[in-house]
Amino acid sequence: MSPPPSPNAAQLYEQDVTDGDGARITTDPCPVCDETQATRRFAVERIETPVVVCETCGLGRFHPMLGPEEIRGLYPDEYYGEPGVKFQPLVERLVRWVGERHISFLCRGLDPGARVLDVGCGRGVILGPLADRGFEVHGVEISAEAARGADPRAEIRIAPTLRDADYPEAFFDEIVIWHVLEHLADPRATVEEMHRILKPGGRLVVAVPNFESLQARWSGNAWFHLDLPRHLYQFPLSGLRQLLERVGFHPESDHHFSLRQNPYGWIQSAMNRGHAFPRNALYTLLHRRGADEAPPYATGLRLRLFALGALMVPLALAATVVETLLRSGATVHVVATRSPGASATSRADA
Ligand SMILES: [Zn+2]
């Protein structure tokens, strides 16, 4: 007899997502394009509010948006794992190795000693290696629990929104917001604030799951990167670029290859589509637990999950290469600049 699954881990990632009724509804203006027509696309277990998709730009979002209390409830301490560690040790080592490959990308063209901000810095996986290379590193986090164990060289502010962190105008040479924008209740306000605190000519790097990607369309409601209900918004790449332009940024380049995110997205989405296991079961298994906590699922199920996951690795890598060649990455990052003298166009109505 195996112990019952950890209720915390299971509640985090097993929450079911089904198709909505597809009805057209009138909404508040879309934060990307101001459209007020949307269709009900998804329903999330235990969440009253549907996820709707904008008829014009394809942005997905809860409508009406979840309230602050409800959003806070989506992030129990277990979400952040042990201090400094989020996954099982082997996976964690891989995550860090792949993460450090990003660092040279983030440093490209930065002057020595440049001031860099990571919005939603978490445990400072990006900030530590940037400090190693002599940059002045800053981070902002909504949760003190999430920032526990971060690199002591990083100057971290804990604030409910970026605006509340109260950085001076034109302060940073580069701002990185890595898989965070989709978690925020008001992403446009955050993009506007990033525009304000970035120096003219400074650079913004923003990564999100791509709601118009091949992987998203193939997976439908089974898509791993929907990460509902924590992802309050589902950005199509085109919608993200539109939002950046609207606020006064100039998108320079899109990047479609992510070894950390995209192959795993194929594996977990395919398993979710098959419905043979609990939703996101492999991810729940890989997620680190407390030392005294029993592993989730019975031994036989754990073995089947690992074996099937391993078998799918070559296929997932091949699919990742294909989606990259088609410029349809399951997750994408966009590099945008703040041009000298450009100003936010929509601050007044934010
Ligand atoms: Zn829209």
pLDDT by position in tens, the chain (length 350) = 333 333 454 568 899 999 999 999 999 999 999 999 999 999 999 999 999 999 999 999 999 999 999 998 888 777 776 554 566 677 777 777 777 778 989 998 899 999 999 999 988 888 988 999 999 999 999 988 888 888 899 999 999 999 999 999 999 999 999 999 999 999 999 999 999 999 999 999 999 999 999 999 999 999 999 999 999 999 999 999 999 999 999 999 999 999 889 999 999 999 999 999 999 999 998 876 666 777 889 999 999 999 999 999 999 999 999 999 999 999 999 999 998 764 444 444 43
Instruction: Give me ligand 1 centre to Cα 121, in Å.
Output: 28
Q: 317: CA distance to ligand 1 center in Å?
A: 32
pLDDT value of residue 8: 52
How much distance in Å is there from the Cα of 189 to the middle of ligand 1?
16
**How many angstroms separate the alpha carbon of residue 194 from the centre of ligand 1?**
21
Task: Tell me the pTM.
Answer: 0.90
DSSP for 226-295?
A: G-TTT--EE--HHHHHHHHHHHTEEEEEEE---TTTHHHHHHHHHHHHHTSS-TTHHHHHHB---TTSPP
**Residue of 56, 59, 63 whose CA lies nearest to 25:** 63
Closest of 67, 32, 34 to residue 49, by C-alpha: 67
Q: How far is the CA of 243 from the centre of ligand 1 (A)?
A: 9
Distance 247 CA to ligand 1 centre (A): 15
Query: Cα(38) to centroid of ligand 1, in Å?
Result: 8
54 C-alpha to center of ligand 1: Å?
5
- At position 35, the amino acid (one-letter code) is E
pLDDT of res. 89: 76
Contact 169, 198 (CB under 8 A): no
Kindly give, in sequence order, each residue whose CB lies less than 8 Å from that of residue 262, ignoring residues fewer than 6 positions away. Answer: 215, 320, 323, 324, 329, 330, 331
- Tell how far the Cα of 210 is from the centroid of ligand 1, in angstroms: 15
The answer to whether the beta carbons of residues 151 and 131 sit under 8 Å apart is yes
Distance CA 70, CA 15 (A): 15
How far is residue 6 CA from its own chain's centroid? 24
- Ligand 1 geometric centre to CA of 328 (Å): 20
Task: Give distance in angstroms: CA of 31 to centre of ligand 1.
Answer: 7
With left for phi above 0 and alpha for psi between -120 and 50, is residue 118 left, alpha or beta?
beta
The CA 345 to ligand 1 mean position distance, Å, reads 17
| Cβ pair 236, 209 in contact under 8 A | no
**If we measure between CA atoms, which residue out of 32, 135, 123 comes closest to residue 85?**
123
Residue 133 vs residues 107, 112, 118, 138: alpha-carbon distances, Å = 9, 8, 15, 14
- How far is the centre of ligand 1, averaged over its atoms, from the C-alpha of 234 (Å)? 11
Count CB atoms within 10 A of the CB of residue 49.
17
Contact 301, 285 (CB under 8 A): no
CB 16 within 8 A of CB 279: yes
Report the separation in Å between the CA atom of 213 and the middle of ligand 1, taken as the mean of its atom positions.
Answer: 17
- Strands 17-19, 60-62: pairing is unpaired
d(CA 225, CA 238): 17
In the reported structure, the alpha carbon of residue 58 is separated from the centroid of ligand 1 by a whole-number distance in angstroms of 6
Q: Is the backbone peptide bond immediately before 295 cis, with ω within 30 degrees of 0?
A: no
Token match 């007020």: residue?
Answer: 36
